[in-house]
Amino acid sequence: MVCGLPLKFGSRAVWSLPLISLMLGGCGSGDSSGLLGGGSGASGGSSATGGNAGSSAAGSSAGGSAGEAAGGSGGAATGGSGGSVSGTPCDLTGSWASYLEIDVAWQGTMVLQPGSDKIRVWLLGKRVQEASAAHETVSTCGITLPDFQSNFLGGNERFGVWFPGEVFDLGGIPVFGIDFAGAFETGGQLQSEPVAMLVGHTMTDPLNGEWPGLTQVHASDPDADTKPGLTGFASKGSGYFHPPTDALKFERAQALWIVSRTVAKLSAGVDTCDKLSGSAEVATIAGKPGLQSHIIGCIKDNGDPCNAQQTEFLDTNRPDFQPANTSRFVSQRVPVTTTCAEVRGLFQ
């Protein structure tokens, strides 16, 4: 599961969401040329006198119409530039809350039915813009995973895994960086370099390194609970079952220790100087999608840790997420005092 924490027996977040919210808001823009405007904008009219009509540019259907009392409606106050539009410049330096939503699908296993749903991530970052580039230092404020259903042989049971919001408020989840480049103006488009969100595991090269096998994981303890990886708790009640640790369901797990990596590139349009919206493209690493995870251990219902065979059973039967259809990325400027808990509440 990548820093977006994919792969597990499903999840529901029981928090008020921190740091992975992505949205921005801002400035307006106008179209001064092309099919909708004159090739050379009309000169602005005074309050008493209408503006002159814009002249027709090559490639446009017609020049701007004559201005009204408040200035020409067809042409802009300044001359058109042969079809190009210059938006209002934006300075994106500040605090930003962001939200990432990735559609995923998974095939069936010995235990699970195939399915599809969304991985959701909330983020909080400090963004610094310099000229035509911006760097953001980001913390993860929350993650939710899809619920999963066992197959007929497994009794058609429903499973879920959730991560307490307080875990992300502690600041133990590693921060990561996002580098944006593009047109920092309203109506402009921004692209990020590939971003690796690594949770519960350490890698020399998280962007390009091959994802390790279960026994090669170098686990960390981001939630400081003395257990390796990030601890997710099995949902219970309301039709949920704890995931079995063997095919015959002799024992079940109340908590799972999870590591994950998510690698993606972000694309966003500058809606305003305070709001961005766009999508995410999951990267391919060594021929596999950058949505990877392992279940590296668990605690059984009786309080005992899982043995190696039980851990392997859970990991083998976890959903193997594949990117599907669409994704969504939004980011908005927030006060510098914004907390992860507030970010989780921004995007539902």
**44 lies in some domain:** no
**How many structural domains comprise the chain?**
1
Cα-based angle 225, 229, 231 (whole degrees, multiple of 5): 60
Q: How far is CA 270 from the centre of its chain?
A: 16
Which runs of consecutive H residues, i.e. helices, occur in 108-220?
165-169
**46 lies in some domain:** no
pLDDT tier at 153 (50, 70, 90 boundaries)?
Answer: confident
Average pLDDT, stretch 300-316? 97
Angstrom distance (rounded) from CA 298 to CA 131? 48
Residue 195 structure tokens: 């971003």
**8 lies in some domain:** no
- pLDDT tens by residue, 117-141: 999 999 999 999 998 899 999 999 9
The 10 Å CB-count burial string (b at 16+, else e) for 49-85 is: ebbbbbbebeebeebbbbbeeebbbbbbeebbeebeb
Angstrom distance (rounded) from CA 95 to CA 338? 8
pLDDT tier at 313 (50, 70, 90 boundaries)?
Answer: very high
Residue 89 has pLDDT above 70, yes or no: yes
pLDDT of residue 86: 52
Of residues 86 and 329, more confidently modeled: 329
Average pLDDT, stretch 231-252? 94
Residue 277 has pLDDT above 60, yes or no: yes
Q: Give the range of the structural domain holding residue 124, as residue numbers without chain letter.
A: 21-27+89-346
pLDDT tier at 111 (50, 70, 90 boundaries)?
Answer: confident
Residue 44 has pLDDT above 60, yes or no: no
Asked if 280 and 324 count as a contact pair (C-beta separation under 8 A), the reply is: no
Asked if 125 and 29 count as a contact pair (C-beta separation under 8 A), the reply is: no
**43 lies in some domain:** no
**74 lies in some domain:** no
**325 lies in some domain:** yes
**97 lies in some domain:** yes
